[in-house]
Amino acid sequence: MPLRDEILKWTEGGHLKPGEASRAFAIAGVTPKLADWRRFVEALLLWTGSILVAAGVIFFFAYNWKSLPRLEKFGLGETLFAVAVIAAWRLGIERAAGKAALLGAALLTGALLALLGQTYQTGADTFELFGYWALLILPWVIVARFAALWLLWIGLLNLTVAAYFRAMTWGLFGVFFGTSGLLWALFALNVAALAGWEFGMWRGLTWLNRWGARVIGSLLGCYATSIALICLVDPHEIGTGAILAYLAWLGVMYVYYRWRVFDVFMLAGTLLSAIVVTTVFLGKQLLGHGDSAPGMLLIGLVIIAMSGAGAWWIREMLREQSMGATQ
């Protein structure tokens, strides 16, 4: 239990006067010190400032200001882009300010590509914009050793795939690879991304962090759950093999995040997915055949039982884990 929570337990239990909590926090070192505040304020100003400026530039180009001539628009965009790249180069990508500048340059790359398409009406599809954007910033992503930039890149790949399938939902391609094809592609992409991220962490790439894996894991969970739900509702749409893929995903998530890297976030998310899929399965079996009331009551109680048991199970795992750590 974090020390702060421990102190609060003591105050609530009457072992420590509530008025002394602040002093106890200071003794425990859980109150930020001046140097911590300094680092925090610097980071807050740097990251919020950089993101707001980049967002402002993107909004500006999206406005498509008619009275601003084409040359000025490109001049402005390219100047800002050059400033960001030069700042990243001069500050160095090992420093936070250099990383922020590089992230800004990566975002501005997309803004410039959009401006190019908007000005010259290139006829390019949206997936091409995202695809080229991802391709162009790939060298920076590789050399920067910066988790946020990798997440941006993986996000762009997701958008590319989604836009590609949306653009191709006509003709024979649409018939064979419609919604199910999109979900399978996104599922496969994010399996690869999560596996790569975990592999990197396993190989000791300290600049990758667990929260990045959780972001990708959340996306993957949404796609895996969608595949299972479509399979349950309309097996012809996606094929009955989808449920096997889903079960395999459940198994891998449990084994990896229980035994290899203990991660409560991933386990709780996987459990929630299993509850949702079970609910839909039971709904399909029990509802819509005459009187629905008993089925609804049963499903409600099953959800309560599953989530209650799941919470107890995760807490038991947590207890085992903490006992193992202290031995």
Partner 1 sequence: MTGELLWKQLSDEGLVSGEMPAKAESASPWPVRAMLGVAGWLAALFLLGFAGTAFAILFKSAEAALPVGAICCIAAFGIFRGVPASDFVGQFGFAISLAGQTLLMVGLTKFAGDRELSATFLAMAAVEALLAFAIPNYVHRVFTTLAANVFLLMALEKVGFAPLAPLIAAVGVAAVWRNDRMMAERPSIWEPIGYGFAIALLQVDGTLLFGDLLWTHARPAAHFLLWAGPLAVGLVFVFVVWQLRDRAGVAANSAGGIFALAAAMVIAVSGLFAPGIVAAVLVIVLGFANGKRVLLGLGLLAFAFYLAHFYYQLNSTLLMKSLVLSATGVCLLGLRWLMGRVMPAEAAAEAAHA
- What part of residues 210-269 is at the interface with partner 1 (CB under 8 A)? 211, 264-265, 267-269
**What minimum distance in Å lies between the beta carbon of 131 and partner 1?**
21
CA distance 49 to 38: 16
285 binds partner 1 (CB under 8 A): no
Which range, of 39-47, 123-131, 184-192, 239-247, touches partner 1 by CB under 8 A? 39-47
290 binds partner 1 (CB under 8 A): no
Nearer Cβ to partner 1 (56/174): 56
**SS3 of residue 286 by DSSP:** helix
304 binds partner 1 (CB under 8 A): yes
Structural tokens at position 81: 């882009």
Q: Which of 172, 175, 293, 323 binds partner 1 (CB under 8 A)?
A: 293
Which range, of 15-23, 139-147, 184-192, 223-231, touches partner 1 by CB under 8 A? 15-23
Q: Which of 18, 69, 235, 251 binds partner 1 (CB under 8 A)?
A: 18
42 binds partner 1 (CB under 8 A): yes
DSSP class of 206: T
Structural tokens at position 164: 């590609």
CA distance 154 to 65: 31
Span 120-179, contacts to partner 1 by CB under 8 A: none
117 binds partner 1 (CB under 8 A): no
CA distance 288 to 135: 49
Span 73-112, contacts to partner 1 by CB under 8 A: none
DSSP class of 256: I
Q: Which of 290, 291, 325, 327 binds partner 1 (CB under 8 A)?
A: 291
Structural tokens at position 245: 């893929």
Short-list 196, 254, 190, 193, CA closest to 224:
190
CA distance 311 to 134: 40
Nearer Cβ to partner 1 (146/184): 146
**What minimum distance in Å lies between the beta carbon of 293 and partner 1?**
4
Q: Which of 157, 163, 250, 303 binds partner 1 (CB under 8 A)?
A: 303
CA distance 42 to 97: 10
CA distance 143 to 106: 13
Place of tokens 């799941």: 310
| # binding residues, partner 1 (CB under 8 A) | 88
Nearer Cβ to partner 1 (181/216): 216
Which range, of 35-43, 157-165, 180-188, 200-208, touches partner 1 by CB under 8 A? 35-43
Q: Which of 261, 305, 320, 321 binds partner 1 (CB under 8 A)?
A: 305
Span 306-325, contacts to partner 1 by CB under 8 A: 306-312, 314-315, 318
CA distance 251 to 253: 5
CA distance 269 to 272: 5
Q: Which of 124, 157, 201, 272 binds partner 1 (CB under 8 A)?
A: 272
Is the C-alpha dihedral spanning 114, 115, 118, 123 positive or negative? Answer: negative
User: Are 108 and 80 a contacting pair, CB within 8 Å?
Assistant: yes
Structural tokens at position 305: 């039982």
DSSP class of 204: T
Which range, of 21-29, 70-78, 156-164, 200-208, touches partner 1 by CB under 8 A? 21-29
Q: Which of 23, 90, 260, 284 binds partner 1 (CB under 8 A)?
A: 23
Short-list 279, 280, 227, CA closest to 250:
227
